[in-house]
Amino acid sequence: MTVVYNRVALIGLGLIASSMAHAMRQAGLVGSIVGHAKSAETRAAALELFCDEVFETAAEAVKGADLVVLCVPVGAMGTIAAEISAHLALGATVTDVGSVKRAVVDAVQPYIPEGVHFIPGHPLAGTEYSGPRSGFATLFKNRWWLLTPLEGADEAATQRLRGLLEAIGANVDVMDIEHHDLVLAVVSHTPHLIAYTMVGVADHMRRVSEQEVIKYSASGFRDFTRIAASDPTMWRDVFLTNKDAVLDILGRFAEELFVLQRAIRMGDGEHLHAYFTRTRAIRRGIIEAGQDTSAPDFGRTAPAAGGGGEGKE
Ligand code: NAP
């Protein structure tokens, strides 16, 4: 592979940054990888695992970089942008991996100097683990990476970034900012909120009525707990910054829930069957699109006798 960027600065050195670093290095796509994270502990781990150099400040880290990737929680993007603004190299590209795009663009764009290209992005890939030790090179393989370039964005800079992302295995699509935030509210943000709520309900039940909900969690509940184990800071920021779209989708969710609740109350089996038939087809569509495994129980190993089965992750 040919080198696409000579010096990549990763700001924030957790799951997404470390996965990018492993993938870029394995494919020989970059000259050097430098980075910055808030804590000395994370910086030391990154230096040991995937960074050539780490810096105590983001400003120092971006000096001389031709690609800067903001990999911090959405709520921290603006502060970082303000700090690095005066230190960005002319002609450099700044991108981000934030799960919400409007809030990041509003927070970062004002600090992008003339002659620097800002191309916002979002990989639709992740796990419930975080930190510099959680990354792996294949995280983005066959996963979508959405770019939301601003009006008048430099075409060559966008194509160069696209080339890097495709070379680490991602399928790149370009999307309008508002559309991104609405789509993500449907496919990711609201489902996470529902998972958090369901686990919260079970926890409350356990505490108030001593029900054995954890012991019997091998049914659907276990998958909710995996999602609900996601990073609290990241998800707090997602809901604070994609408020309108999430509230819109939650309203629709509540309407659907009431319809199903009524069908159950009225014993309307026909309605329930038709509904579940439609939702089953959606699952099949996701598998056909190569976005999940068709193996039973999401490819988990067979349950041990009497147990709930171990997750692969
Ligand atoms: P993570 O593993 O928790 O890592 C976050 C990193 O940001 C850590 O290295 C942390 O440093 C650093 N950081 C936080 N605040 C900072 C600040 N003010 N200054 C400097 N560094 C700071 O998170 P992640 O999962 O990689 O997520 C990073 C971004 O990717 C988020 O914007 C998220 O929305 C987006 N994203 C996540 C996923 C996912 O599933 N995880 C998927 C797609 C996109 P310390 O370790 O020193 O605290």
Q: Is 72 in the pocket of ligand 1 (CB under 6 A)?
A: yes
State the Cα–Cα distance between residues 101 and 242, nearest whole angstrom. 8
Domain range list for the chain: 5-176, 179-288
Contacts of 205 (CB under 8 A, 6+ apart): 211, 213
pLDDT tens profile 84-127: 999 999 999 999 999 999 999 999 999 999 999 999 999 999 99
293 pLDDT band, cuts 50/70/90, is: confident
252-270: pLDDT as tens digits:
999 999 999 999 999 999 9
pLDDT band of 219, cuts 50, 70, 90: confident
Q: How much is the average pLDDT of 231-260?
A: 96
Residue 246 · residue 189 · CB < 8 Å: yes
DSSP H or E run through 118: strand 117-118
CB-CB contact of 104 with 77 (8 Å): yes
Strands 93-96 and 144-147: unpaired
Q: Give the CA dihedral 53, 54, 58, 60, nearest 10 degrees.
A: -50
Percent of the chain at pLDDT > 70 equals 96
Q: Are 119 and 161 in contact (CB under 8 A)?
A: yes
CB of 126 within 6 A of ligand 1: the answer is yes
Compute CA distances 104 → 10, 100, 118, 233, whole Å: 16, 7, 11, 15
Residue for token pair 């031709």: 66
45-67 mean pLDDT: 98
Average pLDDT of 217-232? 87
The reported pLDDT for the residue numbered 301 is 63
Q: Mind listing the pLDDT tens digit for each residue in 171-210?
A: 999 999 999 999 999 999 999 999 999 999 888 888 878 7
Mean pLDDT of 145-152: 97
For residue 250, what pLDDT is reported?
95
pLDDT of residue 305: 36
Is the pLDDT reported for residue 149 higher than 90?
Answer: yes
Using the predicted structure, report yes or no on whether residue 309 has a pLDDT greater than 90. Answer: no
User: Residue 207's pLDDT is what?
Assistant: 83
Please give the structure tokens belonging to residue 302: 């067979």
Two structure tokens written together for 27:
């494919």
Residue 310, pLDDT above cutoff 70 = no
Mean model confidence pLDDT for the chain = 92
Q: Answer yes or no: is the C-beta of 170 below 6 A from any ligand 1 atom.
A: no
At 312 the pLDDT is: 26
If we measure between CA atoms, which residue out of 141, 142, 117, 132 comes closest to residue 72?
132
For residue 121, give the nearest of 56, 66, 77 by alpha carbon.
77
Label the pairing between strands 93-96 and 117-118. Answer: parallel
In order, the DSSP letters of 24-46 are HHHTT-EEEEEEE-SSHHHHHHH
| Residue 15: closest CA among 40, 49, 55 | 49
Contact 3, 30 (CB under 8 A): yes
Q: Please indicate whether residue 59, judged by its CB atom, sits closer than 6 Å to ligand 1.
A: no
Sheet holding 121-123, edge to edge: 121-123, 144-147, 171-174
Lowest mean pLDDT among 45-49, 96-100, 234-238, 308-312: 308-312
Topology of the domain comprising 179-288: 6-phosphogluconate dehydrogenase C-terminal fold (1.10.3660)
Intrachain domains 5-176 and 179-288 with the same fold: no
Phi, psi of 248 (to 5 degrees): -60, -50
**Mean predicted confidence (pLDDT) in 234-259:** 96
> 259: part of which helix (H) or strand (E)?
helix 243-266
Q: Using one digit for the tens of pLDDT, what is the confidence trace for 115-148?
A: 999 999 999 999 989 999 999 999 999 999 999 9
Neighbours of 176 (CB within 10 A): 12
Q: How far is CA 142 from CA 16, 169, 292, in A?
A: 15, 6, 10
Beta-ladder partners of 146: 122, 173
149 lines ligand 1 (CB under 6 A): no
Amino acid at 42: T
Domain at 5-176: CATH code: 3.40.50.720
Residue 313 has pLDDT above 50, yes or no: no
CA 6 to chain centre: 26
User: Tens digits of per-residue pLDDT, 28-44?
Assistant: 999 999 999 999 999 99
CA distance 303 to 129: 23
Could you tell me the distance, in angstroms and rounded to a whole number, from the CA of residue 12 to the centre of ligand 1? 6
Which atom of ligand 1 lies nearest, measured to the CA of 123? 43
Q: Say yes or no: CB of residue 120 within 6 Å of ligand 1.
A: no
pLDDT at residue 26 tops 80? yes
